[in-house]
Amino acid sequence: MARIVFFEKTGCINNTKQKKILTLAGHEVEAINLLHHDWTEEELLSFFDQLEVKEWFNKNAPAVAKGEIDPVGFDRQSALEALLADPILIRRPLMVIGEQRLVGFDPEKLDSLIGIKEVTNPEAQTLLAQNLSVCAQKDNGYIKTKMGVTHDE
């Protein structure tokens, strides 16, 4: 069993499913709302340092999805400043497993690191078969707003 610090957007359907997979595989998950975490440049770089800057951004963040922000146009420093100013832009989940720091939910990588695919629980298998990288609200034709859920036309 691994202990996983899981930085999420609280309420995100996919983050909830991802945590469920980890829990059903027997791991302990400590969820932290990445929107309210007090991020520092050093801490963010500990996750993103080995990735291309454009991979630091959440493609489903409203400003990115609408084309208002183009992750390709950022250098390391301007990307860090943007992510610190608006954490919804941070690609998620971010996970700490022992000394490992992971960006995004990669079932293959997680399976090789802590084992998640051999779980015989049918719910876990159903969840693993889903595309958990597409925003569930957008995928269903809905967007979430501060006032509730509205139809995305």
Residues tagged active-site: 12
* DSSP per-residue string spanning 36-73: TS---HHHHHHHHTTS-GGGGB-TTSHHHHTTSS-GGG
Question: Three-state SS for 30?
Answer: strand
Taking the chain, what is the end-to-end CA distance rounded to the nearest angstrom?
44
CA-derived radius of gyration, the chain: 16
- Nearest to residue 11, comparing CAs of 152, 140, 149? 149
